[in-house]
């Protein structure tokens, strides 16, 4: 193992373009390239910063194409980053596609630069070039990254997309769109676009979280670029911190690597705390983005996830597609421990928060430090009243009145028994309910 200062091999800014630094996604790569081989258009979907751009850029590398038995010389692959192109006209979009394909095959198929009266940039000139290219035995492939921007253009009409579909299906051409949401869920300026047959030609390919094996392979593979290997305990810590999210794994790996600086041994307890703090500064920005784009029902489901056990409905499926939750055996869980901590810190309509307690009136359920606490109706009422007056001493009479709704009975045993059962349900955290001798009780957080 190397010692001294090493170059940090972890990236967390922008797409990965060097195939030597790309790990995982073997199944998705194989599927994408098999579809392209059959001239099938594909819609690559995935949560923000899940690695969609890195994935498509990796898949079209010559070495990757050859490894999947695609003849590199047969394809004219055009990668277009559509970000910032939401105002593009039909002529500008066609010009982009024309230039891309013409330049990709310039040494093999002569073509005329569009822009003059003789060769205007429009769908007809694009079709002419595609016909010429395919007749010569070549296969055009367009990768349209951040396609949301193109779809948002007011200049691209339903007729335009219908004509583009006709060209694509008439010739062996594949278009790969890259978006966060399915194409039919995007917002388009023209109402008729959604009903366009253009969107029927795409096979969806979703990118989710990396598996535990892929994530560990990425971390160790990148560390190995500097002749270094994480200790198993450190590896487990990073995986817990970031889950299978490629960007967050890169970020956590970066901070862990910086702290270790290629020295043998793993992270100490203090080191782990420091890595978590540094990781959180950037990770929380992504968590806030995800949270801001959720509706109230999705936020509620996330906040009450420990209460849901094996439930499966449309909201849960949506949260899973967005890589915010995972299934671990029969149970649902947050995709990483830091996102769990973030969710616990959010205030959600319909839930009462106090310290480590979250109470859900809708389900009459209680969570303590993220675990479900099963309470009877009486115990729930006692805890709710104590929680509402957290830090205050609540008299025996007040508690009796709040729970049973009658005057103080003078019999302390009824209340004592209920408090005893409540504390038993809280387990090791029973001391949150403190007895103030001769007066009452208080919830001390």
In tens, the pLDDT along 382-426 reads 999 998 888 899 998 888 888 888 655 566 688 899 999 999 999
Measured between alpha carbons, how far is 201 from 14 in angstroms, rounded to an integer?
Answer: 30
Contact 174, 41 (CB under 8 A): yes
Structure tokens at 61: 């590398």
**Higher model confidence: residue 264 or residue 208?**
208
- Residue ranges covered by each domain of the chain: 25-207, 212-292, 296-346, 371-443
pLDDT for res 1: 44
pLDDT (average), residues 254-283: 88
Query: What's domain 25-207's superfamily in CATH?
Result: P-loop containing nucleotide triphosphate hydrolases (3.40.50.300)
Give which of 52, 20, 104, 392 is closest to 208, Cα–Cα: 52
SS3 309: coil
Measured between alpha carbons, how far is 61 from 17 in angstroms, rounded to an integer?
Answer: 9
Tokens 């790969």 correspond to what residue? 176
The predicted model scores a pTM of 0.85
Tokens 């729970």 correspond to what residue? 403
pLDDT for res 3: 47
SS3 120: coil
CATH class of 371-443: mainly alpha
């Amino acid at each position: 193992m190397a010692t001294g200062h090493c170059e940090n091999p972890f990236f967390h800014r922008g797409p990965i373009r060097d195939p030597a630094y790309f790990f995982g996604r073997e199944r998705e790569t194989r599927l994408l390239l098999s579809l392209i081989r059959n001239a099938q258009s594909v819609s690559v979907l995935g949560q923000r910063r899940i690695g969609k751009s890195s994935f498509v850029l990796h898949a079209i590398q010559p070495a990757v194409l050859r490894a999947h038995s695609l003849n590199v010389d047969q394809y004219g692959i055009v990668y277009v980053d559509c970000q910032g192109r939401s105002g593009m006209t039909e002529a500008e979009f066609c010009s982009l596609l024309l230039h891309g394909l013409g330049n990709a095959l310039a040494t093999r198929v002569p073509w005329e630069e569009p822009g003059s009266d003789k060769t205007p940039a429009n769908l007809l000139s694009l079709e002419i070039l595609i016909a010429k290219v395919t007749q010569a035995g070549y296969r055009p492939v367009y990768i349209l990254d951040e396609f949301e921007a193109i779809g948002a253009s007011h200049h691209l009409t339903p007729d335009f997309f219908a004509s583009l579909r006709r060209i694509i299906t008439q010739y062996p051409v594949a278009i790969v769109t890259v978006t966060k949401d399915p194409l039919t869920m995007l917002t388009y300026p023209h109402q008729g676009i959604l009903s366009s047959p253009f969107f029927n030609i795409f096979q969806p390919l979703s990118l989710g979280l990396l598996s535990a094996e892929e994530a560990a392979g990425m971390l160790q593979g990148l560390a190995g670029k500097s002749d270094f290997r994480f200790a198993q305990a450190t590896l487990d810590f990073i995986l817990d911190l970031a889950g299978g999210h490629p960007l967050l794994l890169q970020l956590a790996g970066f901070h862990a690597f910086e702290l270790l600086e290629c020295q043998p041994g793993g992270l100490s307890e203090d080191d782990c705390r420091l890595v978590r703090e540094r990781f959180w500064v950037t990770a929380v920005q992504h968590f806030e983005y995800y949270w801001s784009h959720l509706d109230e029902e999705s936020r509620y489901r996330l906040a009450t996830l420990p209460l849901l056990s094996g439930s499966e409905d449309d909201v849960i499926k949506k949260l899973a597609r967005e890589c915010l939750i995972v299934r671990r055996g029969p149970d649902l869980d947050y995709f990483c421990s830091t996102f769990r901590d973030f969710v616990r810190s959010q205030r959600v309509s319909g839930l009462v928060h106090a310290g480590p307690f979250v109470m859900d009136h809708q389900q009459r359920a209680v969570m303590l430090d993220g675990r479900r606490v099963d309470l009877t109706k009486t115990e729930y009422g006692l805890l709710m009243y104590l929680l509402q007056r957290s830090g205050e001493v609540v008299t025996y009479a007040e508690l009796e009145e709040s729970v049973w709704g009658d005057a103080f009975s003078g019999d302390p045993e009824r209340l004592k028994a209920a408090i005893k059962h409540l504390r038993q349900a809280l387990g090791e955290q029973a001391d949150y309910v403190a007895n103030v001798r001769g007066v009452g009780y208080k919830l001390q957080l």
